[in-house]
Amino acid sequence: MDLQWSDADLAFRDEVRAFLKEHLTEDLREAGRLMTSVYADHEASMKWQRILAAKGWAAPAWPVEYGGCGWSAAQRYIFSRERIAAGAPPLSPMGIQMCAPALIEFGTPEQKDFFLPRMLSGEHFWCQGYSEPQSGSDLASLQMSAVEDGGDLVCNGSKIWATHANVANWIFCLVRTSRESKPQRGITFLLIDMATPGVSVQPIVMSSGEHIQNQVFFDNVRVPKGNVIGQIGDGWTVAKYLLEFERGGVAYTPEFHLMLERLRAFAQTAPGEGTARLIDCPEFAAKLAAASVRVETLEVYELRTMSAISAGGSPGASASVMKILGTELHQHITELWLEAAGPYGRAYQPQAVRPGGPVTLPHASGAPAGPLAAVAAPLRYLNDRAGSIYAGSNEIQRNILAKVALDLH
């Protein structure tokens, strides 16, 4: 694997930097810089998607014939790194990064023609319907039923932890169309219009106070069979393919480098216990150094995976490795930030940042007390507790690796 960027890669990097400099407004930069979760402010994210769609850069990983960029894996990595460094908000991954690859791989021509352009433009904003109140990491135990009735499937049940279901107009769901001896069989991948009669959404407020998560209820919801992706009863195949992109479809380390860079700068001025500056505290400096080593190690792994994808491969088991290492390292860095914030990390001040959803818990509305970086630390810490659970808990990922990579049964 060659770790040096080619002249073409460097030229592409310069093109990306010029585009970001021209099109990133201060409002968009603020939305990216002041994020407290993995999701940006919804309106800012949609505004940025429209700008990228007009440029043809909204879906870097898609094939060109569907509106993709035709970029190499290296170019996608460079774009991600430059976007984060410039402070641009991320796009919601549900449609473009998750549902779209499944559609492209398993959808009919008619389904692709209808859904993909609307994903790119933002006309369709997607959420995910996988987990249920009694079916989380053990996803194959899901119970939401879909009974065939003529040309429709009649759906009953609920989905939980549906990110941004309160603003989404489409949801991709796993539903049970039959009961088989093996629970993975009889599951169907289904696209549902959120405006369909019988669909209702209830908010779930997280510990950070943000309304990003939801529970979605389905009461005799009729969905055309034409909205099935793949075959009825074979949705597990589609779901596994999609999860590779959810767990390992992004690079973590560009963000980690920026988080540590900002943390080092903050520690240059933050007071340390018994020292003039926090950065001069040997224990904290050692923690920073250890985190940097972990980031560098993960970056090499990501680059190796990128190289394999460039050669025509898929993330495969590497998706689970990156999901484990990435989410646990992200949590660790937010813990270091909380330590550095000191007493400012004890206050609840969401008015100072740009959360990914409405803040429903009572809070002050005035100017924040303390440095902005310190004020944001507890909110990012609280949000990131879910990182090792979503997209399949890290315990489940380790089970997958034991079976697939180590051949342990």
- Which has more confidence, 226 or 73? 226
Residue 119 has pLDDT above 90, yes or no: yes
How far apart are alpha carbons 68 and 240 in whole angstroms? 23
State the residue for tokens 């002050």: 364
Contact criterion met (CB below 8 Å) for 368 and 375:
yes
Q: What percentage of the chain has pLDDT greater than the value 70?
A: 95
Which CATH number does the domain housing residue 139 bear?
2.40.110.10
Mean pLDDT for the stretch of residues 200-206: 95
104 belongs to a structural domain: no
The average confidence (pLDDT) of the chain is 90
What is the structure's pLDDT at 77? 86
Mean pLDDT for the stretch of residues 240-259: 77
Residue 218: give the domain boundaries: 126-234
320 belongs to a structural domain: yes
140 belongs to a structural domain: yes
For residue 210, what is the DSSP state? Answer: B
What is the structure's pLDDT at 407? 80
Q: Name, of 134-138, 223-227, 364-368, the range with top average pLDDT.
A: 223-227
- Which has more confidence, 232 or 5? 232
Render pLDDT for 42-85 as a digit per residue (tens, 0 to 9): 999 999 999 999 999 999 989 999 999 988 888 888 998 899 98
What is the structure's pLDDT at 61? 86
Indicate whether 298 and 361 sit together in one domain: yes
Indicate whether 359 and 272 sit together in one domain: yes
DSSP H or E segment with residue 379 = helix 372-383
For residue 232, what is the DSSP state? Answer: T
By CB atoms closer than 10 A (0-12, 13-18, 19+), residue 113 is exposed
Q: Which residues are catalytic?
A: 246
Quickly list DSSP for 243-303: HHHHHHSS-SHHHHHHHHHHHHHHHTTS-BTTBSSGGG-HHHHHHHHHHHHHHHHHHHHHH
Render pLDDT for 278-327 as a digit per residue (tens, 0 to 9): 999 999 999 999 999 999 999 988 888 877 766 666 667 888 888 899 99
Answer with the one of 205, 234, 263 that is the final residue of a domain. Answer: 234
Q: Is the pTM of this model over 0.85?
A: yes
How far apart are alpha carbons 90 and 112 in whole angstroms? 24
Give the model's confidence band at 250: pLDDT under 50 very low, under 70 low, under 90 confident, else very high. low
Pairing of strands 126-129, 170-176: parallel
Indicate whether 163 and 256 sit together in one domain: no
Contact criterion met (CB below 8 Å) for 120 and 177:
no
What is the structure's pLDDT at 173? 97
Contact criterion met (CB below 8 Å) for 158 and 152:
no
